[in-house]
Amino acid sequence: MDAEQHGQSWIEREFFKFSGSGNDFIIMDNRDGALSDPDIAAEVALLCRRKASIGADGLILIEKSPIADFAWRFFNADGGEAEMCGNGGRCAARFAFMQGIAGREMSFQTRAGIIRASILDHRRVKLQMTSPHSLKLDYELDLGQGKPFIVSSINTGVPHVVLFTEDLEACPVVSMGRTIRYHNYFKPAGTNANFVCASGADQVSIRTYERGVEDETLACGTGSVAAALIAARKGLVSSPVSVLTRGGERLVIHFNLSGDEFDQVFLEGDTNLVFSGYVKQEAFVI
């Protein structure tokens, strides 16, 4: 398909490329509402292609909100729209502060609810997550390997499965993660899959297969939160929990736990502004 058949409203639009703990995002100011094409999912997928276009794990549109400093639309790399993304939320907060859209203390509207964020310093952002729900501990899941695996799950803005392992390096994250992501038990929406190793009273390591990206990513904010909360509920760690991501950065998860209930859940970590530019028509060439 020719580039001219896609993305007319995106051409010469300014974008900013951010990275949060190894997750990278294209962010654009859409408060004028111009980016609302019927084919937006397909256009986002084209822009997120690595090597052929800008490339990213996701794309974020900053929009107007009547009840918060701004609203966002978050798209995964496949063009599917998701409720929440922790690392993307931190990058969006820093972008909004840089652009004068919000102050150091801000709130923004998502499909998962109102999110609050604080800009701690030049790069570091602390994000209050939505209230976790649907916690289910230690149940069997048949992954077609001759024996059931014991997993736990929780929704931290989006659904996550957590599987604990003693050898994170040897774990087949992509193949097993894909099996979990598309498992009949989690249909129709599917789930993210996290492989976790507890390595101390306040630390876990994690590898994540992300729904929508359909691959292992260097980090996942909501997945890191899910891992920390489930590890805490199992008595393995206590708040605050340091989560070592595949990309090498440590995210810090703060929370209160009372019985099976979590509140005051925060995700803290650094963000990087990588580059900015303007979308060209050839970014949509297939």
- Respond yes or no: is residue 48 known to be catalytic: no
| Active-site entry in 85, 91, 171, 197 | 85
Which of 48, 91, 197, 220 is the catalytic position?
220
**Distance from C-alpha of 21 to C-alpha of 63, rounded to nearest angstrom:** 24
List the catalytic residues. Answer: 85, 220
